[in-house]
């Protein structure tokens, strides 16, 4: 880890330890603003996306890697840009699947103390220092979310997207959670929350647990292209780059 990243990590830890001087708080706000602008500039022309969440630890050849590659390729063939966290594992598989069928592939990579390098299947990516900014960007450009097997980060991303949809902070975009065996205890806990009344009985309509690529594709198509009258298969150009801002697609 180079010294610059070490200092950035220390600064973030310090910020989260409670009140700092007003000057330190102001400097952190400026850093956050710069990160948001960087992310918005990089992804402004990504087009309508489907974001794929999943573990960075599954390698090429693992069943979860292979099914992610297949599923992402089929989503890309519908015209969507595949967006991921930009790293290895499931993220790499999703971007690879999009590239294999001639689709568009973008990533929002997180800068960690242990470096996470962008995978080689990205048409475009941006490196972000703060998880909350990264999650905002992954949500902002997507019309659907696919949750593959993963760890704490994957569940964090899944439940954040689900909470925003449940509370109507974002539109009712479809969420597909893949592999019912891996997510068996999550499914049981969701049913437990429903039986205890901590979520509404209709909240389980906000997502789909499945083991079928075709069921996932149909669910995404029905709840994005048809529901929102999208035409992602066409070149998506609602905005044009401004040369004076040094923008490019």
**Residue 144 within any structural domain of the chain:** yes
pLDDT of residue 239: 67
Tell me the pLDDT tens digit for each residue of 73-92: 999 999 999 999 999 999 99
Assigned token pair, 195? 């039986």
User: Rounded to an integer, what distance in angstroms lies between the CA atom of residue 36 and that of residue 17?
Assistant: 22
**Residue 237 within any structural domain of the chain:** no
With tokens 């900014």, the residue in question is: 133
Total of domains in the chain? 1
Range of the domain at 39: 3-230
Tell me the pLDDT tens digit for each residue of 110-156: 988 766 789 999 999 999 999 999 999 999 999 999 999 999 999 99
**Residue 186 within any structural domain of the chain:** yes
**Residue 15 within any structural domain of the chain:** yes
**Residue 246 within any structural domain of the chain:** no
C-alpha 109: how far from chain center: 10
**Residue 131 within any structural domain of the chain:** yes
**Residue 112 within any structural domain of the chain:** yes
* CATH code: domain of residue 62: 3.40.50.450
**Residue 243 within any structural domain of the chain:** no
Q: What is the pTM of this model?
A: 0.91
């Amino acid at each position: 880890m180079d010294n610059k990243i070490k200092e950035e990590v220390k600064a973030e830890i310090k910020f989260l330890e409670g009140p700092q001087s007003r000057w330190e708080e102001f400097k952190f706000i400026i850093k956050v603003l710069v990160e948001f602008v960087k992310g918005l500039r990089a992804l402004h022309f990504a087009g309508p996306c489907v974001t794929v969440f999943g573990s960075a630890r599954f390698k090429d050849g693992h069943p979860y890697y292979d099914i992610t590659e297949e599923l992402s390729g089929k989503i890309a063939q519908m015209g969507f840009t595949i967006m991921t966290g930009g790293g290895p594992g499931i993220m790499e598989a999703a971007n690879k699947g999009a590239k294999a069928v001639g689709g568009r592939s973008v990533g929002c990579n997180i800068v960690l103390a242990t470096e996470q390098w962008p995978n080689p299947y990205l048409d475009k990516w941006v490196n972000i220092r703060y998880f909350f900014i990264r999650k905002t960007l992954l949500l902002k450009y997507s019309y659907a979310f696919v949750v593959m097997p993963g760890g704490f980060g994957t569940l964090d991303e899944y439940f954040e997207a689900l909470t925003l949809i449940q509370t109507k902070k974002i539109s009712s975009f479809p969420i597909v959670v893949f592999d019912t065996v891996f997510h068996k205890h999550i499914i049981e806990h969701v049913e437990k929350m429903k039986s205890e009344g901590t979520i509404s009985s209709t909240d389980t309509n906000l997502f789909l647990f499945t083991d079928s690529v075709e069921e996932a594709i149909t669910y995404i198509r029905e709840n994005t292209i048809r529901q929102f009258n999208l035409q992602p298969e066409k070149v998506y150009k609602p905005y044009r780059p401004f040369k004076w801002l040094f923008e490019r697609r």
